Amino acid sequence: MHNSNRGGPVDPDGAAVISVDSLAKEYRVYDKPEGLLASVTGLFHRTSRLVEALRGVNLSVGKGEFVALLGPNGAGKTTFLKLLSGIITPSRGTAHVLGHVPWERDDDFRRRFALVMGQRNQLWWDLPAAESFRLHKEIYRIDSARFERTRDELVDLLDVRRLMLQPVRELSLGERMKLELVAALLHEPEVLFLDEPTIGLDVVAQHTIHNFLKTVQAERRVTVVLTTHYMKDVAALCERVVVITHGSILHDGPLEEIVDRFTTHKIVTLDLDATPAPGQMERFGFPCEIRGPRVTLRIDRTRIADVLPEILRSESVRDFSVEDVPLEEIVAELFRAAPVPSVSHASVVEATA
């Protein structure tokens, strides 16, 4: 299991492509009260509070890993990616990506990573994507032969050649995202940050992007950090999952460990010969949902081997299945159960000039 407490300076052997040590980011937020009088008063005295977007995060990511960051809205996921890509600077802590401190924005660093944000465009809105691609070629000083080879490979993988000469504003959300991914990978980055790349996409577009990312990551050994709300993204792409909530890491490890660590029961579905009588299934002592002849029980993991044979002996069962709790349900419960950290900084009143 990956330890979420790992972090610090760059691994001397180069194993840690991303190394984060006690990284924290705080914002001061000013509250604006309602009403005319309160608004006038606010011109002279303002109430502010400190929001801790990240609270001393430690993380280490090796070359070629595909890591998912899961968390509810406001958990700090996007802030974390902005710090790692050098868009913003931290309040405290350190980080190295490919041996560079991101917020120092060295030219060499900027040529070696890419950031794709699902709700932001890097393509020129009124121009065809082909023109934006050529602009990227000049910005990153890509050799013409290498540019054409890489562009053609990516375009063919996503089957978007027919869209390259169409103005970006005329494309659907899924079509734009595919072309955004092509643009991000033209300079062949070693690290790729993806901030909800499948948000708002239909199932077909999601599936296409999943296959594309798996192919690119496997063939090029790109290190990928993905934030998402969709469990399908995680299940399809990532072996390692980092759960972040209230600015802190709650879990860091393989996907299957979330099920083992945070669930106590399994879901048993029974197809009976007939709809059971009232109270017939409740006698087994587990939460029960009945829909006609189909019965769903939530049984303690440690008791499955004892309880299931008893049910099969006493009931007329046509078919049955035993499954883990859906990942979406586990993660949602994790978010709800995570304790809210106490606010260490009280609100303050500041006089303005």
Over residues 167-196, the pLDDT tens digits come to 999 999 999 999 999 999 999 999 999 998
**Nearest-angstrom CA–CA distance, 122 and 213:** 19
- Structure confidence at residue 342 as a pLDDT band (50, 70, 90): low
In the predicted structure, residue 353 carries a pLDDT above the cut 70: no
**pLDDT tens across 107-154, in order?**
999 999 999 987 677 899 999 999 999 999 999 999 999 999 999 999
In the predicted structure, residue 87 carries a pLDDT above the cut 90: yes
**Nearest-angstrom CA–CA distance, 196 and 256:** 22
In the predicted structure, residue 239 carries a pLDDT above the cut 50: yes
User: Is residue 10 a contact partner of residue 96, using CB atoms and an 8 Å limit?
Assistant: yes
Torsion of CA 36, 40, 41, 45, to 10 degrees: 130
Domains of the chain: 16-112+189-260 (3.40.50.300), 265-323 (3.30.70)
pLDDT of residue 41: 73
Give strand pairing partners of 20.
59, 95
- Structure confidence at residue 349 as a pLDDT band (50, 70, 90): very low
- Structure confidence at residue 330 as a pLDDT band (50, 70, 90): confident
Given strand 317-323, what is the order of strands in its sheet?
288-291, 294-300, 265-272, 317-323
DSSP state string for 101-134: -GGG--HHHHTSEEEEETTS--S-TTSBHHHHHH
Average of per-residue pLDDT across 251-257: 87
**Radius of gyration over every alpha carbon of the chain, rounded to an integer in angstroms:** 25
**pLDDT tens across 279-292, in order?**
888 888 788 888 99
In the predicted structure, residue 164 carries a pLDDT above the cut 80: yes
Q: Going along the chain, which residue ranges are E strands?
A: 16-31, 45-62, 66-70, 92-97, 113-117, 191-195, 223-227, 240-245, 248-254, 265-272, 288-291, 294-300, 317-323, 348-351
Q: Token pair of 145, please?
A: 């032969």
